[in-house]
């Protein structure tokens, strides 16, 4: 029976990596400068230090797939090979190196098309390759989308806090949104921030209020002005069903017009505290950066009396076709994205809410805590961070619900 294409491809790439590893290691054994570091090796071979450093780094790993991930392309390696014999490496070993390079080049052209395609393939098998592949392409996407959308933000931070309501039946939800250095990049670009809730079948209509309990009729109601830029742009508020849109109205643009905006919404009794186990429902909250961001920070603080104190799961969805995903909808499983995502525990207590990315983040959380009259100790904190988050994606934290009694 013929092997699956995936297996034969992995074998070919592995073999190419092993030949590169064996050939170059034997060649380096004949060059004392190789053990003295990239600068000495670069000088001996007459190549640049960056190339010599990448080659030595690749040769330090025993995994052939990781070797392929770290190796320079065939043309730079050919420059190294052309210098080996002149540097004193035996012709036989040089010939082995050249043959390994040609085999590497053949794999690229036959199976991947180019080096970028090869890195995409490797990202499925090599964790380091996956991180590098995602990071570089997400950064490139951020640059392109921010220019197309005409807006960007250094940090897009969502914080959600779940607290038992005094009625014993429902859960209060507080959302804090911080946008650090929000800027319109070109005139006329629409800049929009949105908060929303996916309503359960028997859920009540959403009625968010400001921290002081007043209705949110304009930005000033939800703005935490002491944590914002001295001059903030004019922003209108437009309710739309279960969503609230914050629209940047002033047509100012350019880096000089950047602003830091912090808002807070409270939602009293928004969620049921107990869910019939027969419904098999998962509680969740999610963050969807509506402005291209260099960094997304999504924090969740949960009172220990809710959901059994269990740590959340994390899922990332593509929202391009189906919109914001309900994690309880099995039909949205196909939209889950396979991206590197880690949910970090922040420990116990709102006092542990700190961030290098958001100015005076601890002060923001403490301000909200004091206004709500919460005891800071019984809250469990969790954080997800994405560098250059994929525009049009949704990061959800999920919690196992509990039944009454």
Question: CA angle, corner 277, sides to 274 and 283, nearest 5?
Answer: 55
Q: How far apart are CA 89 and CA 28, in angstroms?
A: 8
Closest CA to 270 of 164, 405, 397: 164
Q: Provide the pLDDT for residue 187.
A: 77
Q: Provide the pLDDT for residue 188.
A: 72
Confidence band, pLDDT 50/70/90 cuts, at residue 353: confident
Q: How far apart are CA 171 and CA 204, in angstroms?
A: 13
Arithmetic mean of pLDDT, 63-90: 92
Residue 242 clears pLDDT 90, i.e. is over it: no
Beta strands in 139-202 (DSSP E): 151-164, 170-184, 192-196
In the chain, % of residues over pLDDT 90 = 57
Of 3-17, 204-218, 340-354, the least confident: 204-218
34 vs 25 pLDDT, higher one: 25
Q: Which helix (H) or strand (E) holds 2?
A: none
Digit-coded pLDDT (tens) for 362-403: 999 999 999 999 999 999 999 999 999 999 999 999 999 998
Q: Provide the pLDDT for residue 128.
A: 82
Coil, helix or strand at residue 185:
coil
Record the tokens describing residue 371, joined without a space.
Answer: 């206004």
Half-sphere exposure in the Cβ direction for 355 (13 Å, CA): 29
Confidence band, pLDDT 50/70/90 cuts, at residue 342: confident
Q: Provide the pLDDT for residue 119.
A: 87
Residue 194 clears pLDDT 80, i.e. is over it: no
CB 181 within 8 A of CB 155: yes
Output Rg (C-alpha) for the chain, integer angstroms: 27
Q: What is the DSSP letter of 363?
A: H
Residue 192 clears pLDDT 80, i.e. is over it: no
Digit-coded pLDDT (tens) for 285-321: 999 998 999 999 999 999 999 988 888 999 999 998 8
Q: Provide the pLDDT for residue 211.
A: 87
Residue 182 clears pLDDT 80, i.e. is over it: yes
Q: Provide the pLDDT for residue 231.
A: 66
Residue 195 clears pLDDT 90, i.e. is over it: no
Confidence band, pLDDT 50/70/90 cuts, at residue 186: confident
Record the tokens describing residue 344, joined without a space.
Answer: 């970090």
Q: Provide the pLDDT for residue 7.
A: 56
Confidence band, pLDDT 50/70/90 cuts, at residue 338: confident
Closest CA to 172 of 246, 276, 271: 271
Q: Provide the pLDDT for residue 218.
A: 61
Q: How far apart are CA 319 and CA 336, in angstroms?
A: 9
Confidence band, pLDDT 50/70/90 cuts, at residue 33: confident
CB 207 within 8 A of CB 271: no
> 220: Cβ–Cβ under 8 A, 6 or more apart, which residues?
none
φ, ψ at 322 (rounded to 5°): -85, -5
Q: Provide the pLDDT for residue 245.
A: 66
Look-up: residue for tokens 């309501």? Answer: 165
Confidence band, pLDDT 50/70/90 cuts, at residue 212: confident
Q: Provide the pLDDT for residue 130.
A: 80
Look-up: residue for tokens 């919460």? Answer: 374
Q: Which residues of 270-279 are buried (b: 16+ CB within 10 A; e: fewer)?
A: bbbbebeeee
Arithmetic mean of pLDDT, 248-252: 63
Residue 217 clears pLDDT 70, i.e. is over it: no
Each domain of the chain, given as residue ranges in start order, spans 5-125, 138-400
Residue 240 clears pLDDT 70, i.e. is over it: no
Coil, helix or strand at residue 239:
strand
Residue 201 clears pLDDT 80, i.e. is over it: no
Residue 191 clears pLDDT 60, i.e. is over it: yes
Helices 5-29 and 49-59, interaxial angle, to 10°?
110
Arithmetic mean of pLDDT, 276-284: 91
Q: Provide the pLDDT for residue 183.
A: 87
Q: Provide the pLDDT for residue 349.
A: 94
Q: How far apart are CA 109 and CA 375, in angstroms?
A: 62
Q: Which residues face 223 on adjacent strands?
A: 263
φ, ψ at 208 (rounded to 5°): -70, 145
Of 9-23, 124-138, 328-342, 371-385, the least confident: 124-138
Q: Provide the pLDDT for residue 239.
A: 64
The sign one gets for the Cα dihedral 323, 325, 329, 331 is positive
C-alpha distances (whole Å) from 107 to each of 9, 10, 101 are 9, 10, 10
Mean pLDDT of the chain: 87
Half-sphere exposure in the Cβ direction for 172 (13 Å, CA): 17
In the chain, % of residues over pLDDT 70 = 87
Q: How far apart are CA 101 and CA 68, in angstroms?
A: 11
Q: What is the DSSP letter of 311?
A: P
Q: How far apart are CA 61 and CA 59, in angstroms?
A: 6
What burial class does residue 391 get, using C-beta atoms within 10 Å of its C-beta: 0-12 exposed, 13-18 middle, 19+ buried? buried
């Amino acid at each position: 029976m013929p092997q699956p294409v995936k297996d034969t491809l992995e074998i070919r790439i592995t073999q190419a990596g092993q030949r590169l590893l064996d050939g170059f290691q034997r060649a380096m054994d004949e060059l004392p400068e190789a053990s003295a570091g990239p600068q000495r090796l670069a000088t001996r071979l007459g190549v640049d230090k960056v190339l010599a450093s990448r080659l030595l780094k690749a040769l330090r790993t025993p995994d052939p797939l990781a070797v392929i991930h770290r190796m320079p392309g065939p043309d730079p390696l050919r420059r190294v090979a052309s210098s080996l014999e002149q540097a004193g490496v035996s012709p036989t070993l040089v010939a082995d190196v050249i043959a390994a390079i040609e085999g590497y080049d053949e794999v690229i052209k036959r199976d991947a098309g180019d080096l970028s395609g090869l890195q995409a393939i490797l990202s499925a098998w090599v964790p380091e390759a996956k991180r590098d592949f995602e990071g570089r392409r997400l950064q490139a996407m951020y640059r392109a989308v921010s220019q197309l959308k005409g807006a960007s933000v250094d940090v897009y931070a969502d914080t959600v806090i779940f607290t038992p309501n005094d009625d014993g039946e429902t859960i209060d939800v507080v959302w804090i949104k911080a946008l650090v250095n929000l800027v319109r990049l070109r005139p006329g670009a629409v800049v929009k921030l949105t908060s929303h809730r996916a309503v359960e079948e028997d859920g009540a209509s959403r009625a968010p209020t400001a921290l002081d309990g007043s209705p949110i009729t304009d930005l000033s109601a939800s703005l935490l002005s002491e944590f914002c830029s001295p001059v903030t742009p004019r922003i209108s508020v437009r309710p739309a069903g279960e969503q609230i849109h914050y629209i940047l109205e002033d047509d100012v643009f350019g880096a000089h017009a950047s602003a830091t905006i912090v808002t807070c919404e409270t939602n009293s009794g928004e969620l049921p505290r107990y869910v019939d186990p027969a419904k098999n429902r998962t509680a969740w909250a999610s963050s969807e950066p509506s402005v291209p961001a260099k960094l997304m920070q999504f924090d969740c603080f949960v009172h220990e009396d809710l959901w059994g104190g269990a740590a959340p799961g994390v899922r990332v969805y593509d929202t391009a076709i189906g919109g914001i995903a309900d994690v309880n909808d099995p039909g949205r499983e196909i939209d889950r994205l396979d991206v590197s995502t880690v949910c970090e525990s922040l420990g116990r207590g709102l006092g542990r809410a700190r961030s290098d990315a958001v100015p005076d983040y601890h002060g923001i959380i403490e301000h909200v805590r004091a206004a709500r009259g919460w005891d800071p100790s019984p809250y469990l904190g969790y954080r997800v961070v994405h560098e250059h988050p994929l525009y049009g994606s949704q990061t959800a934290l999920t919690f196992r619900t509990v039944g009454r009694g």
